[in-house]
Amino acid sequence: MQHGLDTLHRRRTDLAGGRPFLRGVCVKVTTMTPKKPNSALRKIARVRLSNGMEVTAYIPGVGHNLQEHSIVMLRGGRVKDLPGVRYHIVRGIYDTQGVAGRKRSRSLYGAKKGK
């Protein structure tokens, strides 16, 4: 998922222990403003992971149903204009619904095939 830096031994350490995804519980769901020159209200969640860490994750797509105590799955991937946000929430798994009405790139947003 992510790598840290072991400054004493000068090598990268794997923060998730080699796992591509991690489960967590939302502690706080809120919005954040991006760095200059961008302007928006980006949706983020503070998540306590199953390994005990607490991280900030981005909620992709239009609209979401997350609230405090929702169970989510996280994948790696930072958001360039949000400092400190280095994880993405996976849509369509656990308590996170897929994006409604999504026609393209559906697999990224957990959307079912529309009829």
Write out pLDDT tens, residues 34-80.
Answer: 999 999 999 999 999 999 999 999 999 999 999 999 999 999 999 99
Bond into 37 cis (ω within 30): yes
How many other CB atoms sit within 10 Å of the CB of residue 41?
Answer: 10
Mean pLDDT of 23-42: 96
The pLDDT score that the predictor gives to residue 104 is: 93
Q: Could you tell me what percent of the chain has a pLDDT over 90? A: 77
Q: Whole-structure pTM over 0.85, yes or no? A: yes
Q: In the 8-state DSSP scheme, what is residue 52? A: S
Pair 14, 22: CB distance under 8 Å: no
**How many whole angstroms separate alpha carbon 93 and alpha carbon 66?**
12
Mean pLDDT of 21-38: 96
Task: Domain 20-109: give its CATH code.
Answer: 2.40.50.140
pLDDT surpasses 80 at 14: no
The pLDDT score that the predictor gives to residue 115 is: 76
